[in-house]
Copies of this chain bind each other. A is one copy, B any other.
Amino acid sequence: MKLEETLNRLDQTQNESLSRLSELLKFKSVSTNSKYKPDCIETAKWLVAELNDIGFNSSLRETTGNPMVVAHSNKSKGNFLFYGHYDVQPIDPIEEWKNDPFKPDVKTISGEKVIVARGASDDKGQLMTFIEACRAIKYVNNSLPINISILLEGEEETSSPSLVPFLKKNIDELKCNYAFVCDTGMWDKKTPSITCSLRGMLSEEISIKGPNRDLHSGIYGGAVNNPLKVMSKLLANLHDENGKVNIPNFYNGVETVSNELKNEWEKLTFSEEKFLNKIGLSKSSGEKEYSLLQKLWGRPTCEINGMWGGYIEEGLKTVIPSKAFAKISFRLVGDQDPEDIRLNFRKKLRNEIPEDFEIKFSDHKGSKATQFPLNDQVINKAKKALSDEWNSNTVFEGGGGSIPIVQHFKNILEMDTLLVGFAQDDDNIHSPNEKYNLNSFYKGARSWVRIIYEISE
């Protein structure tokens, strides 16, 4: 049988698969800092070559930012569009990495073989599960049983500024029946998962300016508004004492999680204590009246991702700085409108700063939340394929993160998306020592083989 033959082929070529992944992980494709743009271009070129090598018709496509990689299994476009991203998060704090983040280290941690590198799990390792699956199927059959197109992006970690224009410009080429995205996780190390809801996202950068220059805190202290004090108050005031986000009309459009999905979540074995212990904490925070899973998957948030100002080097400097800065992001649910929230957020902050202060905001694209129907045919076939591979019932998870591409596929290309991924909770994505389990990598590729065959029937 072709399925068994393909799975065997994958098993026999694990070393080659792993060395291809290692090559990809060596590229410093950090998209949030423009100095790595040349590295991003090299990464895209490598992927184009790799996809051409397995018989895709593949090309690098310029954007105003990092290039896209587009590939088609046939001369014509595919019925299914696979999406992944080759850019990665910054590596700081670098001193906490145990190996060079761009020199992949294969080792055993707690009895599990893993590969440690920036992007191992998010998303280079994951996108390679799909490419390796296609490679094996092509090897066995000389062709794929369904037409597949592939879109690999290089700006996912920086809010995808080029994506929407690119999709709009290439609707005819990219519009398929269904999208596959491999950028999510498993429920646990044994249980595969399909993500059926995602939170939306909105980011804002803030800078405030008080005095027209840095001041000596002895000479001016006590009589002049300190921008760091003002910023602390602004940030502290983003939540009320009950953990609610303290912005007018913020909860407009927040919908209760559907009963169907809530039932799925209630079936999950989940220990709040274990979840918190793993990250060194004993108490959860946030809205008191919701369970931890509901807070993560079904409730909106406002988080400070960075703040700074004044003297932040070694030693002391008795300064009242002229400016202070913060980066904020929101996760949205239901029908919350990112642009409404942006306006209300800005209005609130403008009201709260001293009248002789300036405040500036930087725009970042917002995206709404997404929820998928659970009775869809593709989802059900994928569920069967995953359950077969992992010998465990596939769960329907919520997703706390945001994958705005899913909204864009719906709105621009009118496609639904299947969200399947093999990352683990302890993969340290966005953190030092990011890793991908080799079990996720090898069985992930096997899973995609099964899904592709299942869907083709």
Which residues of chain A have a CB within 8 Å of any CB of chain B? 31-34, 89-90, 92-93, 96, 157-159, 199, 201, 203, 205, 210-226, 228-229, 231-233, 235-239, 276, 279-287, 292, 295-296, 299-301, 303-321, 324-325, 327, 329, 331, 354-356, 364, 399-402, 425, 428-432
Question: Chain B residues with Cβ under 8 A from A307's Cβ?
Answer: 228, 231-232, 307-310, 312, 324
Q: 23 A-B contacts, Cβ less than 8 Å apart?
A: A34-B314, A92-B313, A159-B316, A199-B218, A213-B280, A216-B429, A216-B431, A217-B305, A221-B331, A221-B400, A222-B299, A222-B331, A222-B400, A224-B285, A229-B236, A229-B239, A229-B303, A233-B236, A283-B356, A306-B309, A307-B310, A317-B430, A318-B430
Are A355's CB and B213's CB within 8 A?
no
Using A430-B214, A430-B216, A430-B319 as known contacts, say yes or no to A306 and B295 having CB atoms under 8 A apart: no
Are B224's CB and A284's CB within 8 A?
yes
Are B214's CB and A32's CB within 8 A?
no
Question: Chain B residues with Cβ under 8 A from A228's Cβ?
Answer: 235, 304-307
Contact of A316 among B203, B223, B309, B429 (CB under 8 A): B203
Are B312's CB and A325's CB within 8 A?
yes
Nearest residue in B to A402 (C-beta to C-beta)? B218
Are B303's CB and A217's CB within 8 A?
yes
Question: Chain B residues with Cβ under 8 A from A229's Cβ?
Answer: 235-236, 238-239, 303-304
Question: Chain B residues with Cβ under 8 A from A199's Cβ?
Answer: 218
A236 to B284, CA, bound (A): 22
